[in-house]
Structure 1
Amino acid sequence: MERRTYLKSTGTAAAALAMAGCLGGGGSGSKTISIGSDIPYPPFEYMENGEPAGFDPAIAQAVFTDQLGYEYSFKDTSFDGIIQALNNGNFRVIMSAMTITEERAEKVDFSDPYFTAYQTIAVLQNSSIDEKSDLKGKAVGVQKGTTGAGAAEGLKEELGGDLTIKRFDTIASAFNALLNNQVSAVINDNTVSAEYVSKNDDELRFVEGDGAAVEAGREAPPYLTLTIEDYGIAFRKDDDELRKEVNDALATIKENGTYDDIYSEYFAG
């Protein structure tokens, strides 16, 4: 399913969250699903009126509560260690704009994809960087443990090693570094970067041009794409029954229009 690419304000009403009765790792008999997520990462997850909100919580509401009859709770967890925390039993699943990769799939199982994203390059409006090659000899900011960091490593190799990668605990810190001229660019998921660009459009912009999406014949966003990525919900390796239930629920909300309704709350186009 091709997805639209322009961001809507995260000020839209968030889906109601069922937060009561968290049972930690959520064993097979639990009716509350605990969800690990790195908050904030708008528009996918952020705090609103003291509660987690955003695209992922809205999908959780539609899948776990509306379709499967579970309650659920979100547990804020650093992305860099979130898979280990899942496998340690700290929560039942991960919903955190997580890209499905072969490396991660060695440690967890993934649901069917529920979102397509692209790695992109954001720079200052007055930057002289207009294409990938202009980053040679520069420093870029990424969030630790993300596929944005992986895309930066790929770009570094493409530039003959002449690229400095600065890793931050949160994507907000990476963008603060960009705005403070501590890095020359941020490499990150397009929809999340669009949140920062749209709120700071007098200071930030995307690097434009063709890229991975065009090369793959996808409906490309209007800026350079370094990679094409699918997001999935992550499960421990022994949680096949819940994963099947979630896949069935994801298919249902895509078929009955619920997914598109949620998507249109958080993304325009």
Structure 2
Amino acid sequence: MDIDRRSFVKGSAGIVGGLSLGGLAGAQDEGVVRIGSDIPYKPFEYRTQSGDLTGFDVDLAEAIFQGQMDRDYEFVQTGFDTIIPSLNNGNFRIIMSAMTINEQRDQQVDFSEPYFIAYQTVAILKGSDIQSVEDLKGKTVAVQKGTTGEAAAQQLKKRFGGDLNIDSYDQIPGAFNALLNNQAVAVINDNAVNLQYADERDSIVMLEGEGQAAQEFENAPPYLTLTVERYGIAFREDDDEFRQRVNEALNAVIGSGQYAEIYKEYFTGEPPQAILSRARPAPGTTTADGTAGNATDTTTNGG
């Protein structure tokens, strides 16, 4: 999928392939928030057949920056395995790319409060001999470079005493192409993305079984979950004031009911209560349940 440079239109996401440091400084002075993102990663960020950038992260970015903060924004296509160094080099202001908050990343960036709960899961071909996670021993799995899916595969490899082959791809479509071409028996990746591929292709299904989600939540999904993770927006460590303002805007989006509306456009069921319980209206507004906002709301780092 080729990414070209498009002019920014307020209220919809523009996208660029790269940005110089000098251009970044000038753009930020003009109020444009540049967002690093690994595209495509459907349903979080991807382009439609007509070329429009869309997805859960994209719609949430519009609600936060254009809706709550009255700021223009623009997505910058960036490989996931280099996205944190690119942020810290000043190529963009934030990362919004279905990024899991974890200890390793939190040593390099600061995170917003969590905005999504995800699981690492296993996608396989229908009719596969893989019936449990133990059946992966001695086989080849496909993952995306630099992701927590790759980390989950590495943990399985340790569990199997090294008897697991891991093929890492620059982007997730490469991993699924490997599965479809029988170069791998499974893809280990975020549940929402694996479910998207399973929904679009009859030949792909989720490996069933209980897992980490069943230990943490009453209503765990019916498929195997290797981990429970939380996504956050990533910021440079010297950008704390902006991070706090984005947290306020994010919680106002949750409080207004708009988060739930966006969530239901891309996912089945209700948004996690752990996210909805953080709802805080913007000053002078009310939440969907009628709770009034004030100017003294504070935020904390979710990372």
**For the residues of structure 1 that align with 2:105 and 2:186, how far apart are their CA atoms?**
26
Other-structure match for 1:93? 94
- Output aligned runs, 1:119-134, within 5 Å: 119-134=120-135
**For the residues of structure 1 that align with 2:44 and 2:219, how far apart are their CA atoms?**
21
> TM-score under structure 2 normalisation?
0.80
Other-structure match for 1:19? 14
Other-structure match for 2:262? 262
Assess if the C-alpha contact under 8 Å between 1:120 and 1:190 holds in 2: yes
Q: Give the letter for the 1:69 counterpart.
A: D
Q: Deviations over 1:62-86 (max 9, x none)?
A: 0011000100000100001000000
**For the residues of structure 2 that align with 1:226 and 1:132, how far apart are their CA atoms?**
9
Other-structure match for 2:213? 213
Assess, with a 3 A threshold, how the Cα gap between structure 1 residues 92 and 205 changes in structure 2: closer, same or farther: same
For residue 229 of structure 1, give the secondary structure of its aligned residue in structure 2: strand
Gaps of 5+ in 1: 1-14
Assess, with a 3 A threshold, how the Cα gap between structure 1 residues 16 and 211 changes in structure 2: closer, same or farther: same
Other-structure match for 1:12? none
Q: Give the letter for the 1:200 counterpart.
A: R
The CA deviation at 1:157 is 1.2
The CA deviation at 1:50 is 2.4
Between structure 1 and structure 2, the one with the greater Rg is: 2
Q: Deviations over 1:18-70 (max 9, x none)?
A: 53999526776441100000000000000123232110110000001100010
Q: Deviations over 1:82-113 (max 9, x none)?
A: 00000011000000000001000111000000
Q: Give the letter for the 1:132 counterpart.
A: V
RMSD: 1.8
**For the residues of structure 2 that align with 1:73 and 1:28, how far apart are their CA atoms?**
11
The CA deviation at 1:237 is 0.6
Residue 32 of structure 2 is aligned to residue 32 of structure 1: yes
For residue 14 of structure 2, give the secondary structure of its aligned residue in structure 1: coil
Assess if the C-alpha contact under 8 Å between 2:14 and 2:53 holds in 1: no
Gaps of 5+ in 2: 1-9, 270-303
**For the residues of structure 1 that align with 2:26 and 2:245, how far apart are their CA atoms?**
15
Assess, with a 3 A threshold, how the Cα gap between structure 1 residues 197 and 25 changes in structure 2: closer, same or farther: farther
**For the residues of structure 1 that align with 2:15 and 2:87, how far apart are their CA atoms?**
20
Deviating above 4 A after TM superposition, structure 1's stretches of 4 or more consecutive aligned residues are 20-23, 25-28
The CA deviation at 1:163 is 0.5
Other-structure match for 2:171? 170
**For the residues of structure 1 that align with 2:159 and 2:14, how far apart are their CA atoms?**
46
Assess if the C-alpha contact under 8 Å between 1:19 and 1:71 holds in 2: no
Other-structure match for 2:284? none
**For the residues of structure 2 that align with 1:233 and 1:162, how far apart are their CA atoms?**
35
Residue 114 of structure 2 is aligned to residue 113 of structure 1: yes
Q: Deviations over 1:167-217 (max 9, x none)?
A: 00111000000000000100000001111111112x111110110000223
Assess, with a 3 A threshold, how the Cα gap between structure 1 residues 245 and 159 changes in structure 2: closer, same or farther: same
Q: Deviations over 1:117-153 (max 9, x none)?
A: 0000011101111111000100000000000000001
- Output aligned runs, 1:1-269, within 5 Å: 16-19=11-14, 23-24=23-24, 29-48=29-48, 49-201=50-202, 203-269=203-269
> TM-score under structure 1 normalisation?
0.90
Assess, with a 3 A threshold, how the Cα gap between structure 1 residues 241 and 268 changes in structure 2: closer, same or farther: same
